[in-house]
Amino acid sequence: NANALTDITGFGLLGHLSEMIRDTKLSAEINSDKIPVINGVEELLRKDIYPSGSQRNFASVKDKLIYKIEDDKIKLFCDAQTSGGLLISLPGNSAINPKEVKETYGIDIWEIGEINTKYNEKINII
């Protein structure tokens, strides 16, 4: 029983997550190390190779973020070049085993954070 679900497309992970918690008095805490990243992408960001749509996404959510990690990693989470991965908010008592889901359905899933009430509609990225 999902609380919320959205496909991650042109607004990137953080754009869609900010929409998910907008007007809810909820917030999100994301563990940046748990988000899978394609090899070589971070090097491109360090070289300032970054699409304009992703730049606009970053600008639109920056005020909604709390973070102490480098901007390049945050920009990656605003990437407009995503293709429909799903962001799902599940109740805390949901017992989902990522390995079991992979074996049964052939689908990769990652638990990247939690929804809470700590930051009043902000996204804290650790």
- Tell me what pLDDT residue 18 has: 96
User: Can you give the chain as a three-state secondary structure string?
Assistant: CCCEEEEECCCHHHHHHHHHHCCCCCEEEECHHHCCCCCCHHHHHHCCCCCHHHHHHHHHHHHHEEECCCHHHHHHCCCCCCCCEEEEECCCCCCCCHHHHHHHHCCCCCCCEEEECCCCCCEEEC
Q: Do residues 51 and 80 make contact, with C-beta atoms less than 8 angstroms apart?
A: yes
Domain range summary for the chain, segments of one domain joined by +: 4-125
- Tell me what pLDDT residue 32 has: 95
**10-residue averages of pLDDT along the chain (126 residues):** 86 94 95 91 87 91 93 87 81 81 89 93 96
- Tell me what pLDDT residue 83 has: 67
pTM value? Answer: 0.87
Evaluate whether the domain defined by 4-125 bears CATH number 3.40.1350.10: no
